[in-house]
A and B are shown apart, each in its own frame.
Chain A
Amino acid sequence: MGVQDAEPLDVERIREDFPILDREVGEGTDLVYLDNGATSQTPESVVETMSEYYRTYNANVHRGIHRLSQEASIAYEDAHDRVAEFIGASGGREEVAFTKNTTESMNVVAYAWGLSELGPGDEVVLTQMEHHAALVTWQQIAKKTGAEVKFIRVTDDGYLDLDHARELITDDTEMVSVVHVSNTLGTVNPVSELADLAHDHDALFFVDGAQAVPNRPVDVEAIDADFYAFSGHKMCGPTGVGVLYGKRHLLEEMDPYLFGGMMIKKVTFEESKWNDLPWKFEAGTPPIAEGIGLHAAVDYLESIGMDRIQRHEERIVEYAYDRLTDHDDVTVFGPPGDDRVGLVSFDLDGVHPHDVSQILDEHGVAVRAGDHCTQPLHDVLGVSATTRASFYLYNTREEVDALVEAVDAARELFAV
Chain B
Amino acid sequence: MVGSDMYRQQILDHYRNPRNHGELEDPTFSHVGENPMCGDEITMDVELAEDGETIERVAFRGEGCAISQAAASMLSERLPGKTLSELREMDRDDVLDMLGVDISPMRIKCAVLAEKVAQDGAEIYLGEKDLDRTSTE
Q: How far is the CB of B14 from chain A (nearest CB, A)?
A: 13
For window 1-53 of B, CB contacts with A under 8 Å fall at: 1-2, 4-7, 12, 15-16, 37-39
**Residue with the highest number of chain B CB atoms closer than 10 Å, among A351, A352, A371, A384:** A352
Which chain B residues border A325 with CB–CB below 8 Å? none
Chain B residues with CB below 8 A from A353, complex form = 65
| Residue B75 is within 8 A (CB to CB) of chain A in the complex | no
Cα-based distance from A409 to B6 in the complex (angstroms):
14
Within 8 A of B (CB), among A251-285: none
User: Which residues from 55 to 114 on chain B have a C-beta closer than 8 Å to any C-beta of chain A?
Assistant: 64-67, 104, 107, 110
Q: Are B16 and A362 in touch, CB under 8 angstroms?
A: no
Q: Which of A351, A358, A405, A416 has the most CB of B within 10 A?
A: A358
Is the Cβ of B4 less than 8 Å from the Cβ of A385? no
- A405→B1 CA distance, assembly (Å): 9
Expressed in whole angstroms, the minimum distance between the Cβ of A401 and any Cβ of chain B is: 14
Q: Sort chain A's interface into a size bin.
A: 20 to 34
Q: A179 CA to B110 CA in the complex, in Å? A: 32
Q: Cβ of B1 and Cβ of A363 under 8 Å apart?
A: yes
B66 contact set on A, CB distance < 8 A: 351-352, 355, 414
Task: Assess the A409–B1 pair: CB atoms within 8 A.
Answer: yes
Check A352/B64 contact, CB under 8 A, given A363-B1, A409-B1: yes
Give the shortest distance, in Å, between A378 (CB) and chain B (any CB): 8
Point out which of A29, A352, A355 has the most chain B C-beta atoms below 10 A from its C-beta.
A355
Q: Is B7 a contact of A385 with CB atoms below 8 Å?
A: no
Least Cβ–Cβ distance between A365 and chain B, in angstroms: 12
Question: In this assembly, does A1 line the interface, its C-beta being within 8 Å of a C-beta of chain B?
Answer: no
On whether A358 and B1 interact (CB within 8 A), knowing A385-B38, A416-B16, the answer reads no
Residues of A within 8 A of B16 (CB): 416
* A370: B residues at CB distance < 8 A: 37-38
> Complex formed: what's the CA distance from A50 to B30 in Å?
56
- A355-B37 contact given A363-B1, A413-B12, A414-B66, CB 8 Å threshold: no
Return B32 CB to nearest CB of chain A, in Å: 15
Q: A352-B64, A355-B66, A355-B67 are in contact. Are A362 and B5 (CB under 8 A)?
A: yes
| Chain B residues closer than 8 Å to A352, beta-carbon distance | 38, 64-66
Partner of B4, one of A29, A354, A362, A405: A362
Residue contact A362 to B2, C-beta cutoff 8 Å: yes
Whether A385 and B39, one on each chain, are in contact in the complex, defined by CB atoms closer than 8 angstroms, is: yes
Contacts of A405 in B (CB 8 A): 1
Specify which chain A residues have a CB less than 8 angstroms from the CB of B67 in the assembled complex. Answer: 354-355
A353 to B1, CA, bound (A): 20
Complex Cα distance A271/B86, Å? 65
Tell yes or no: A359 within 8 A of B by CB. Answer: yes
Cα separation A77 to B119 with both chains bound (whole Å): 57
Complex: how many Å from CA A29 to CA B1? 11
Indicate whether A363 sits within 8 Å of B107 (C-beta atoms), given known contacts A354-B65, A355-B66.
Answer: no
Residue of B nearest to A384 (CB): B39
CA distance A354 to B108 in the complex (A): 12
Note all chain B residues with C-beta closer than 8 A to A362: 2, 4-6
Task: Say which residue of B6, B12, B37 sits within 8 Å of A358 (CB atoms).
Answer: B6
A359-B4 contact given A352-B65, A414-B12, CB 8 Å threshold: yes
Closest to A362 in B: B4
The docked-state distance in angstroms from the alpha carbon of A328 to that of B4 is 24
Q: Name the residue on A nearest B7 (C-beta).
A: A413
Max chain B C-beta neighbours (<10 A), residue from A351, A385, A405: A385
* B1 touching A355, Cβ below 8 Å: no
State the CA gap A359–B2 with chains docked (Å). Answer: 10
- Asked whether B12 lies within 8 Å of A354 as measured between CB atoms, the reply is no
B41 to chain A, nearest CB (A): 9
* Smallest CB separation, B38 vs chain A (Å): 5
Which of B12, B37, B38, B110 counts the most chain A CB atoms within 10 A?
B38
Evaluate whether A355 and B65 lie within 8 angstroms (CB atoms) in the complex, with A385-B39, A414-B12 already known. Answer: yes
User: Who on chain A is nearest to B64 by CB?
Assistant: A352
A358 and B2 contact, CB distance less than 8 A: no
What is the minimal beta-carbon distance from B30 to any residue of chain A, in angstroms? 22
CB distance from B108 to the nearest CB of A (A): 12
Known: A370-B37, A414-B12. A358 touches B107 (CB 8 A): yes
Cα–Cα distance between A351 and B12 once the two chains are bound (Å): 11
Q: Which 9 A-B pairs have the closest CB atoms?
A: A384-B39, A352-B65, A354-B65, A409-B1, A355-B66, A355-B65, A354-B38, A385-B39, A362-B4
Knowing that A362-B5, A370-B38, A409-B4 are A-B contacts, what are 7 other residue pairs whose CB atoms are under 8 Å apart, sorted by A's residue number? A354-B38, A354-B110, A359-B7, A362-B2, A362-B4, A363-B1, A384-B39
9 contacts between A and B (CB under 8 A): A351-B66, A353-B65, A354-B38, A358-B6, A358-B107, A359-B7, A362-B2, A362-B6, A370-B38
Q: Which positions in B face A, CB cutoff 8 Å?
A: 1-2, 4-7, 12, 15-16, 37-39, 64-67, 104, 107, 110
